[in-house]
A and B are shown apart, each in its own frame.
Chain A
Amino acid sequence: MASITSRAVAVLRRRSLAAAGICCMLVALSALAGCERGILDPAGPVGGAERVIMLDALAIMLAIVVPTILCTLAFAWWYRATNRRALYAPRWAYSGRLELLVWSIPALIVVFLGGIAWISSHDLDPAKRLSAGSEPLEVEVVALDWKWLFIYPDQHVASVNRLVAPVGVPLHFRLTSASVMNVFFVPRLGSEIYAMYGMTTELNLQADRTGTFHGLAAHINGDGFSDMTFETQALSPQEFSQWLVSTQAQGPTLDEAAYRGLLRQSSKIEPYTYRTVAPNLFQAIVSQQLPPGEGPHIAQADAETVSPQED
């Protein structure tokens, strides 16, 4: 008997060790909140609002989750078979009051969280314009195999693998894909959104801090997936104007022929810019007047649907 008891104690000691381990992990997780980077250190209003919602929802749920975990461990420990001081009610299996409680606690939490979900999904709908003072900067995004093309339709310039934006100005993105499904994501700015061939999605973001932020493709899109990253440069409005002027002054032209070159699979392309862009290029891509990306080269031999054209 004694050996069984001591073994049970050892088991429970290990269990409390594990519980302590979990707590340490949770502390480490919350320490991330202070970490420079990631979605917990947003550099714009969208990411900021999303962080608040996440932390609020987490706090509400922890209020019920932590007691539940503690109760589980406490009940398992106190009602262990070797504890002769614990009550044993071998037939007790129903209590109307407890039933009411176990249904209403999660229901109340969900009513509360459901309200948050409903309101916040309207407030933070990716397609909803940001209500900042200034007019938004329009950016058209084309996901290619495996690089990002950013077209500034009003400024008639374009950039590959580098998104340049002024701080404090709302950014209105229209996105499409030239080949497979992709997800556009700048973690420190906030919401991600799918980019799909023949379709346009909309996204509104804003940077409030200058800096360079990591951007990436957040959906598997083939062998070049891991290298389909881009940098987001948030510049002061003056610097952004200077960047526009210098971009418009030099570099190649993005016309249909140049675009067909981009359709070929390639990765690890160093960022570069186009001095000027053919008008309505984005429309031509979305409305499928231009062909989709070619895919891997083996496909060209037998697939008639691919129309690789030399430029």
Chain B
Amino acid sequence: MFGNLTWAAIPFDQPIPLYSAAVVGLMVLAVLAWVVIKGHVPYLWREWITSVDHKRIGAMYCMLALLMLLRGFIDALMMRSQQAVAFHAAGYLPPEHYNQIFSAHGTIMIFFVAMPFMIGLINYVMPLQLGVRDVAFPTFNSVGFWLTAAGALLVNISLVVGEFSRAGWLPYPPLSELQYSPGVGIDYYLWALEISGAGTLISGINLVTTILKTRAPGMSYGRMPIFCWTALASNLLIVAAFPILTATLAMLLLDRYLDFHFFTNAAGGNPMMFVNLIWAWGHPEVYILILPAFGAFSEIVSTFSGKPLFGYRSMVVATMAICVLSFMVWLHHFFTMGAGADVNGIFGIMSMVIAVPTGVKVFNWLFTMYRGRVRFSTAMHWAVGFMVTFVIGGMTGVLLAVPPADFVLHNSLFLVAHFHNMVIGGVLFGAFAAYEYWFPKAFGFKLHERLGKAAFWCWFTGFYVAFVPLYAVGLLGMTRRLQHYDQPEWHPWLLVAAGGALLIFCGIALQATQLIVSIRSRRRLADSTGDIWDGRTLEWATPSPPPLFNFAVMPDVRGEEPYWGMKRKAIEAMQLSAEPSYEAIEIPRNSPTGFVTAFFAFILGFGLIWHIWWLVVLALIGAYATFVVFAWRDETESVIPQEEVARIDRANRAARALALTEMTA
């Protein structure tokens, strides 16, 4: 009846996952109960779950990412504490549990924190910056988000039902083959990523189409804000790279489920093929993550320096150069597989070449601050902290690109420190900067500045205290993923690193406090005009939060930084432009398609993991039926009447006019 699923799948003998799952489960139940009792279900269903509004979907992506950040960070705390105590001792996590934790940490942080955060930001901001009312395929967008959420749910279910992968965040065969990993851990990993990977691909197709096809009149490529350019590059990479991931994992699934021999030891399988393919996706992946962060930093540095971005064209060229080059460096992840000097040399040089456009970007941010008026908002703190940290990470990265240096640093904690330097110092700092910067746009009030700065300082110092020791211990020859060790010279560094993790914990606690305090004092922190930071791009031309239709009338773009131009004109004339003539606006109707599809995808994944074949069939039928129902619907759009559009826009114009008279008075 239930395939391989028995009571033995629940880890009754392991108190740590059991209790933590019980606590989390109770919390989830409590929240659900509160939602139901307070009668919020219809609101959630109508305004969020079935919403196809890019802003709602973007916000949900970011919320998913923040939740998963907590899960991934708890894994990180466990790893740091285990390594801090496991000198000449077994520590408190046995290998079969510890191996799951580092695998889950990597998987969650990349696929369910960094990816959704970046895609969420792009979803939210990019259509506003392009001056359009929605993305190209709104319902498709919702499907993409919910599939990602279904994958995240599968990974978290594995905590209590069965186990997660023990083979690292990229499960190299043959270790990940049935022979060496007979449990369900790898299957959880594979199906979760197949489902969320499909979601990511959907999102990539949607966002690329949006940028290429649906910009405001006059918004030529050369006038697109740099964040849109980085979003374009990132999503082109998604469209090109994610099919590789899906196909590679599918081959491993065929090996595991149907006795194929793509990567097995036996019958002519070739595990090195997996390694090549997974990194052919894996290296573009890091640029998929970092490019939107670069875009966000560009916007933030420019806004808070009170100047246009220095060298806009250089930035565009650098972004697209990174986009292309990122596909030509994958072999540097395995210089030590003995490919030979010529191959290693070429890939080493190609890896360094990427540092050129990246270096250009850093210099351009530098010259954006030059002769500016730098306002040290919380977002700007993250940006400057990023510039310092990222340069160091770039340096250690180029060092690792020198093959003989990699020969002694491959898989060491030096490498771990390097990529955390890039992913925390680059992607995560970028996500937090963007969160501070665009939060007022999304919710109509800004986040508490002092708590935000306190959180930044904890994260910033915490990062260095946690990862500089890992650089050091890597130079002492310590490899990654060790559950225990006997080398006395490693121990003090790992103790310091655990202290750094605690500092980061303080940063996260302060961020949570900041959010709660800001929500409670939202009236004091409110933004009436929609342009709280003296912004330069079109999203600041809308009210905060923007109405469902974003723009009452389509903006007429007449140059770079169109909103800055409008604002200058208004300030010079000491009055707003004449009121436009309003028209009724058609917007796409809500649809539960995404949520229902993802529900069946989750059921499908769960059934496949546990070999519950009737459930698999049921889920497939359900998913197909959902598609048919969606395809047969009659009405696809609803209309917002002209008076409603006029009312919303006039209210915002009044607030802006008031701000203008205050400014000119």
Given A120-B404, A122-B341, A179-B265, the answer on whether A80 and B374 have CB atoms closer than 8 Å is: yes
Closest to B380 in A: A76
Partner of A53, one of B172, B362, B404: B404
Given A72-B388, A122-B345, A179-B174, the answer on whether A216 and B479 have CB atoms closer than 8 Å is: yes
Cα distance A60–B660 in the bound complex, in angstroms = 52
Partner of A110, one of B175, B352, B395: B352
Partner of B405, one of A57, A128, A218, A222: A57
| CB within 8 Å: A-B pair count | 333
Closest to A103 in B: B360
Restricting to B214-271, which residues have a CB under 8 Å from any CB of A? 264-266, 271
Determine whether the beta carbon of A296 is less than 8 Å from that of B366.
Answer: no
Q: Which of A14, A216, A293, A305 has the most CB atoms of chain B within a 10 A radius of its CB?
A: A305
Given A223-B99, A292-B266, the answer on whether A181 and B398 have CB atoms closer than 8 Å is: no
Interface string of B308-349 (1 = CB under 8 A from A): 111110100000000000000000001011101110110011
A137 interface residue per 8 A CB criterion = no
The minimal Cβ–Cβ distance linking B482 to chain A, given in whole angstroms, is 5
A284 interface residue per 8 A CB criterion = no
Determine whether the beta carbon of B376 is less than 8 Å from that of A53.
Answer: no
- Hey, which chain B residues are within 8 Å of A191, CB to CB? 336, 404, 407-408
B interface: dominant SS:
helix
- Hey, which chain B residues are within 8 Å of A299, CB to CB? 178-180, 182
Determine whether the beta carbon of B410 is less than 8 Å from that of A68.
Answer: no
The minimal Cβ–Cβ distance linking A141 to chain B, given in whole angstroms, is 13
- Hey, which chain A residues are within 8 Å of B371, CB to CB? 79, 86-89, 92
Cα distance A90–B561 in the bound complex, in angstroms = 13
Determine whether the beta carbon of A39 is less than 8 Å from that of B408.
Answer: yes
Determine whether the beta carbon of B340 is less than 8 Å from that of A75.
Answer: no
- Hey, which chain A residues are within 8 Å of B407, CB to CB? 50, 124, 126, 190-192
A1 interface residue per 8 A CB criterion = no
A38 interface residue per 8 A CB criterion = yes
A237 interface residue per 8 A CB criterion = no
Determine whether the beta carbon of A220 is less than 8 Å from that of B404.
Answer: no
Partner of B376, one of A8, A21, A229: A8
B47 interface residue per 8 A CB criterion = no
- Hey, which chain B residues are within 8 Å of A257, CB to CB? none
The minimal Cβ–Cβ distance linking A299 to chain B, given in whole angstroms, is 5
B167 interface residue per 8 A CB criterion = yes
Closest to B383 in A: A76
B412 interface residue per 8 A CB criterion = yes
Interface string of A62-91 (1 = CB under 8 A from B): 100100110111011001110000111111
Cα distance A179–B358 in the bound complex, in angstroms = 40
Determine whether the beta carbon of B405 is less than 8 Å from that of A53.
Answer: yes
Partner of A32, one of B305, B308, B374, B476: B476
- Hey, which chain A residues are within 8 Å of B399, CB to CB? 54, 57-58, 61
The minimal Cβ–Cβ distance linking A294 to chain B, given in whole angstroms, is 8
B472 interface residue per 8 A CB criterion = yes
Closest to B98 in A: A226
Determine whether the beta carbon of B336 is less than 8 Å from that of A193.
Answer: yes
Determine whether the beta carbon of A47 is less than 8 Å from that of B345.
Answer: no
Determine whether the beta carbon of B172 is less than 8 Å from that of A29.
Answer: no
Closest to B344 in A: A121
- Hey, which chain B residues are within 8 Å of A88, CB to CB? 306, 371-373
Cα distance A306–B486 in the bound complex, in angstroms = 34
Q: Which of B384, B404, B479 has the most CB atoms of chain A within a 10 A radius of its CB?
A: B404
A25 interface residue per 8 A CB criterion = yes
**Of A160-168, A194-202, A272-280, the one with at least 4 CB within 8 A of chain B:** A194-202
**Of A94-102, A150-158, A239-247, the one with at least 4 CB within 8 A of chain B:** A94-102
Given A38-B489, A79-B305, A120-B402, the answer on whether A72 and B384 have CB atoms closer than 8 Å is: yes
Determine whether the beta carbon of A76 is less than 8 Å from that of B384.
Answer: yes
A11 interface residue per 8 A CB criterion = yes
- Hey, which chain A residues are within 8 Å of B489, CB to CB? 35-38
- Hey, which chain B residues are within 8 Å of A93, CB to CB? 307-312, 368
A185 interface residue per 8 A CB criterion = yes
Closest to B335 in A: A121
Given A38-B475, A221-B175, the answer on whether A89 and B265 have CB atoms closer than 8 Å is: no
A170 interface residue per 8 A CB criterion = no
- Hey, which chain B residues are within 8 Å of A303, CB to CB? 178-179, 182
Cα distance A188–B477 in the bound complex, in angstroms = 8
Determine whether the beta carbon of B338 is less than 8 Å from that of A127.
Answer: yes
B509 interface residue per 8 A CB criterion = no
Determine whether the beta carbon of A75 is less than 8 Å from that of B366.
Answer: yes
A269 interface residue per 8 A CB criterion = no
B653 interface residue per 8 A CB criterion = no
- Hey, which chain A residues are within 8 Å of B411, CB to CB? 183, 192, 218-219
Restricting to B52-101, which residues have a CB under 8 Å from any CB of A? 95-96, 99
B interface residues, tally (CB under 8 Å) = 102
Closest to A291 in B: B266
Closest to B351 in A: A117
Partner of A25, one of B175, B457, B464: B464
- Hey, which chain B residues are within 8 Å of A125, CB to CB? 340-341, 344
B487 interface residue per 8 A CB criterion = yes
B453 interface residue per 8 A CB criterion = yes
- Hey, which chain B residues are within 8 Å of A202, CB to CB? 338
Cα distance A226–B79 in the bound complex, in angstroms = 14
Cα distance A69–B174 in the bound complex, in angstroms = 44
Cα distance A121–B341 in the bound complex, in angstroms = 5
Closest to A52 in B: B404
Determine whether the beta carbon of B356 is less than 8 Å from that of A107.
Answer: yes
Given A110-B353, A226-B485, the answer on whether A218 and B271 have CB atoms closer than 8 Å is: no
Q: Which of A37, A40, A72, A196 has the most CB atoms of chain B within a 10 A radius of its CB?
A: A72
Determine whether the beta carbon of B308 is less than 8 Å from that of A91.
Answer: yes
Given A116-B402, A194-B337, the answer on whether A102 and B479 have CB atoms closer than 8 Å is: no
- Hey, which chain A residues are within 8 Å of B172, CB to CB? 180-181, 219-220
Determine whether the beta carbon of A61 is less than 8 Å from that of B398.
Answer: yes
A295 interface residue per 8 A CB criterion = yes
The minimal Cβ–Cβ distance linking B105 to chain A, given in whole angstroms, is 13
The minimal Cβ–Cβ distance linking A264 to chain B, given in whole angstroms, is 13
The minimal Cβ–Cβ distance linking A46 to chain B, given in whole angstroms, is 8
- Hey, which chain B residues are within 8 Å of A122, CB to CB? 341-342, 345
- Hey, which chain A residues are within 8 Å of B314, CB to CB? 99, 102-103
Cα distance A303–B367 in the bound complex, in angstroms = 63
Partner of B483, one of A106, A126, A193, A225: A225
- Hey, which chain A residues are within 8 Å of B475, CB to CB? 29, 32, 38-40
- Hey, which chain B residues are within 8 Å of A79, CB to CB? 305, 369-374
Determine whether the beta carbon of A21 is less than 8 Å from that of B461.
Answer: yes
Given contacts A113-B398, A192-B407, A223-B166, 6 further A-B contacts (CB under 8 A): A54-B408, A79-B372, A93-B311, A128-B341, A187-B476, A295-B180
Q: Show 17 residue pairs from A and B whose CB-CB distance is below 8 angstroms, ordered by the A residue.
A: A14-B457, A18-B457, A37-B487, A71-B366, A76-B374, A76-B384, A90-B306, A98-B363, A121-B348, A187-B408, A191-B407, A192-B408, A193-B338, A196-B272, A214-B487, A218-B410, A219-B479
Spell out A's residues near B (CB within 8 Å): 8, 11, 14-15, 18-19, 21-22, 25, 28-29, 32, 35-40, 47, 49-50, 53-54, 57-58, 61-62, 65, 68-69, 71-73, 75-76, 79-81, 86-95, 98-99, 101-103, 105-107, 109-110, 113-114, 116-118, 120-128, 179-181, 183, 185, 187-188, 190-194, 196-199, 201-202, 214, 216-226, 229, 292-293, 295-296, 298-299, 303, 305-306
Across chains A and B, which 3 residue pairs bring their CB atoms closest together, nearest first? A187-B477, A106-B359, A38-B476
